[in-house]
Chains A and B, each alone.
Chain A
């Protein structure tokens, strides 16, 4: 039985790790990109790397816009935990409030109309908690993502006849419009959602940007090829960090798909910024905890195509 206290303490820990320590996969991606740049674009990327070092050395958030902290929880089908899912949600909300004060994070979350700020990043529908499940295991994975909330995302209903050209155009439209003046805080991990219901399209794209690591390809080789092609296309725009002339828009491009309406091809684009903040913990059945930066969210079970599932 996993105790509720362990869940809360673990969520609190990953809040700090996400806010402070840049994931190694993203850092490696940027270290590669900086070699291609010169002038101001190079200066900007080098300064960002110094900033990551300063954050880790001082244990302070790498970016003061600590985004919209949220959680992705993957529960093993055999996991036993105290208090049920309601207790997990309460623990995550308490950890958010506590971490917001202690790290500190910026209390970004306000009521959309009254702008009421509880100063703890907790409120109506905040933090978001996405649930998924995993067969045949007894652990719980908790991932937190702190992604900025204003720029770099768009949605469009395309149609099958629009084809790959339509996908490429909308990809470029989004990168060019949000890349100007660097509003997307690029180079970014670009996540693309294709298919599903409209809300699923948005969710898949967001998860593709935030929950896959730089260098990781979609298991479908044709989709992986498209990911690579779009990545190169984005870096050929001629734009770099802050919208200066350069070749660094896309640290990596991830596509996730869902079966969709036969007449449509909805698409979303999401950009996870130069402060790509994510951290994951696995709580084992005996209450021990291991930490990592790869959420490993898109398991074969998550991408299943058939009615049943053979364990």
Chain B
């Protein structure tokens, strides 16, 4: 973990990323990207993996970086694009599709929000040789928007709508991102969460429990609950 006296390890990678690039990444490394990236989330995953449509891009030759996001973008009447910013969406919701998506797309980097547990990374990401980058603070939409130099194409805009369509971007110095999971499946979020958990009991000390519990505070449905 970084401390005040230590500079963060920072890398800039060319997409498609190579195996040796991925090996350099440790949890907590700051990453910037150059090249081509694409968006894909539940709409795309369902269409490809459940409804059987072919991916309309030459993956992974074109790009092996999949961003879990929807851009704040509009298509002008003349067909040109206006991209304001991009901000990630929470990735754990897409876990059930990832194994098949890695096989179909050859993706090696997933960018998103919130990450997953080390157990999930080891089950889904490590076998695919993929790493997970998290966006920073979750709201750096303007900085990321600056990094998008051009919209190359948009696929399935009519079918899936603006938010779920596949947007393909040329990016330059696109970031920052933080490595949440490396090739071994370590999880930065999980490690940080564990440190925080150690303090939690003390935090609640002396606060009496409410008269009635809720589901979630017990698994026993025969308890009297609110």
Contact = CB atoms under 8 A, between A and B. Distances in A.
Interface of A: 38-40, 42-45, 47-48, 50-52, 54-55, 58, 60-66, 100-108, 110, 115, 117, 119, 150-151, 156-159, 161-163, 165-166, 168-170, 172, 176, 180-183, 185, 233, 236-239, 241-245, 273-275
Contacts of A48: 136-137, 139-140
B137 A243 contact: no
Contacts of A58: 142, 145-146
Interface stretch (B13-21, B49-57, B86-94, B97-105): B86-94
A278 to B, nearest CB: 15
B28 interface: yes
B192 interface: yes
Nearest to A103: B84
Given A43-B8, A104-B73, A233-B203, 9 more contacts: A51-B137, A60-B84, A63-B139, A64-B69, A65-B89, A158-B210, A159-B210, A162-B211, A176-B200
Contact of B114 (A107, A156, A182): A182
Contact of A159 (B2, B189, B211): B211
Contact of A51 (B141, B163, B196, B209): B141
29 contacts: A40-B2, A43-B2, A44-B137, A47-B136, A54-B145, A62-B139, A63-B140, A64-B71, A64-B85, A64-B145, A65-B72, A104-B83, A106-B70, A106-B73, A107-B163, A151-B90, A158-B210, A163-B208, A168-B207, A180-B193, A183-B113, A237-B200, A242-B134, A242-B136, A243-B189, A243-B193, A245-B196, A273-B138, A274-B137
Contact of B161 (A44, A117, A233): A117
Contacts of B210: 156, 158-159, 162, 166, 169-170
Contacts of A55: 85, 141-142
B67 to A, nearest CB: 11
B33 to A, nearest CB: 16
Nearest to B199: A238
Contacts of A43: 2, 8, 30, 136
Interface string B115-154: 1000000000000000000101111111111100000000
Contact of B143 (A51, A106, A108, A273): A51
A63 B141 contact: yes
Contacts of A182: 113-114, 137-138
A294 to B, nearest CB: 21
A64 B1 contact: no
B138 A105 contact: no
B115 A64 contact: no
A268 B139 CA distance: 24
B180 to A, nearest CB: 9
A112 to B, nearest CB: 14
A47 to B, nearest CB: 5
B192 A61 contact: no
Given A61-B72, A159-B212, A117 B163 contact: yes
B222 interface: no
Q: Give the one of B137, B211, B214 with max A CB within 10 A.
A: B137
B85 A62 contact: yes
B196 A64 contact: no
Contacts of A161: 211
Given A47-B176, A105-B72, A157-B226, A61 B84 contact: yes
B76 to A, nearest CB: 9
Nearest to A239: B196
A244 B194 CA distance: 10
Contact of B115 (A66, A100, A181, A245): A181
Contacts of A166: 208, 210
A245 to B, nearest CB: 5
A52 B194 CA distance: 31
B4 A39 contact: yes
A172 B203 contact: yes
Contacts of A157: 226
A243 B187 CA distance: 13
A45 B140 CA distance: 10
A307 B101 CA distance: 62
B65 interface: no
A183 B189 CA distance: 11
B96 interface: no
A185 B71 contact: no
Contacts of A150: 90
B212 A64 contact: no
Nearest to A274: B139
B203 A236 contact: yes
A181 B193 contact: yes
A44 B204 CA distance: 27
